[in-house]
Amino acid sequence: MILLIKIIVGAGLLFGLYVIGAILYAQFTDYKPAPEEQAIVLQPKIELPTLNKDTLIFYDWNVGYCGLGKESDFFYDGGKMVRPTEALSEKNLNGFIQTLEQWKSDADFIYIQEIDRDSKRSYHIDQFQKAVDALGNFEGAFGKNYDVKYIPIPFLEPMGKTLGGIATFYKYKSAETPIKYAFPSNFSWPKGLFFLDRCFVKHRFNLSNGKQLVIINTHNSAYDGGKLKKQEMAYFKKFIVEEYAKGNYVIVGGDWNQIPPGYKPLKEKSDYEEIPVPKDFVDNNWTYAFDGNTPSNRKVDKAYVARETYTTVIDFYLLSPNIKLIEVKGLPNGFEYSDHQPVRMVCKLEM
């Protein structure tokens, strides 16, 4: 009996030391993003042309670090998986790259979220570099929002090192180096040491009428009950409204982790976080572009089952009043490669 007590006490002490050590290591190596910093840019071998057209095609996709395909559940959503097998990760990555290759002749701009550069969960493959290589004559900009040297959970299978972010790809000469803005929000200590430092990246392109097209790629908070998103949206609004007030054209896209105004969830699910975009975020003359008939995201507590897994729409675009929406369509792929499905949008700048 005494031996058993000693073993339990010893195990408890070891676990306590592990937790304390992991927190201290995370504290000393914590990535603290500046409020504003230049994005990392990879340029194509050719010189890109100036943007000289008014009808533009956008694609948006959260690729889930190529780790959350249809076969996957995820421990933080109530499932069991920490990371996919290497074979599944490779399958999802190949699907992502093949999809980009299908888009590149059609797309003007591509927004991507949750793309890894050096993470245990994605077998340390630089997915951003692979995407740039696949697209060829596109410039790629990367905004880092996840840089943790060691994530200690789950205890028996730690997530380990994670380095990822959001990426934008475009085939026109930008007016300046893209800027990454850190959202002024995070979970409380010590939880915040191990979560994403949410951000958005802003890009500028000169137009023939002397104004600029401002495109923004965003990835807002999740698992926050709406508290952090509320802070982010209040901060975000200033950047969007000010650019339009200058006479510029503004197109925001990404994974908002919120449902857009006017979207009606396909079915009720009390334990799924359905947070709407604040009603006063922008004026009514702005346009939310989303496909309410095609889900862009699924719940990841279990592997995907069509017509059974809960789905919703949290990936969409926002267009300033001087832009006309031509078409927006979700691109269903059975959640084969990610827990999100892509969204294609066509719009026209009213010049």
Tell the burial category of 48 from Cβ atoms under 10 Å away from its Cβ (0-12, 13-18, 19+). Answer: middle
Give this prediction's pTM.
0.94
Residue 224 near residue 243, CB atoms below 8 Å: no
Name the residue ranges covered by the structural domains of the chain. 1-30, 33-349
Average pLDDT over all residues of the chain:
90
Contacts 24+ apart (CB under 8 A), 281-284: 281/233, 281/237, 282/237, 282/240, 282/241, 282/318, 283/321
What mean pLDDT is predicted for residues 265-270?
A: 64
Indicate the pLDDT class of residue 271, thresholds 50, 70 and 90.
Answer: low
DSSP 78: T
pLDDT at 26: 54
Owner of token pair 């008014």: 54
Q: Strands of 287-289's sheet, edge to edge? A: 36-38, 179-182, 199-206, 212-219, 249-255, 315-319, 287-289
Any bridge partners for residue 275, and if so which? Answer: none
**The pLDDT of residue 192:** 58
The answer on pLDDT for 148 being more than 70 is: yes
The rounded distance, in Å, linking the Cα atoms of 338 and 88 is 11
Q: Across residues 183-204, what is the average pLDDT? A: 78
Strands 249-255 and 212-219, sheet pairing: parallel
- Specify whether the CB–CB gap between 207 and 49 falls below 8 A: no
Virtual torsion, Cα 188, 192, 193, 197, nearest 10 deg? -140
In angstroms, the CA 180 to CA 184 distance is 13
Q: How many CA atoms lie within 13 A of 227 on its CB side?
A: 7
The pLDDT value recorded for residue 196 is 79
Over the stretch 104-115, which tens digit does the pLDDT of each residue have? 999 999 999 999
Res 301 pLDDT > 80: yes
Q: Quick check: 194 and 179 in contact, CB under 8 A?
A: no
* Whether the predicted pLDDT of 125 surpasses 80: yes
Tell me which residue of 157, 316, 167 sits closest to 252, measured CA to CA. Answer: 316
User: What are the helix (H) ranges across the chain?
Assistant: 2-28, 86-103, 127-135, 227-245
Instruction: Please say if the pLDDT value at position 3 is more than 80.
Output: no
Average pLDDT on 60-85 reads 90
CATH superfamily for 33-349 is Endonuclease/exonuclease/phosphatase (3.60.10.10)
Which are the contacts of 79, defined by CB distance < 8 A and separation ≥ 6?
72, 73, 300, 301, 302
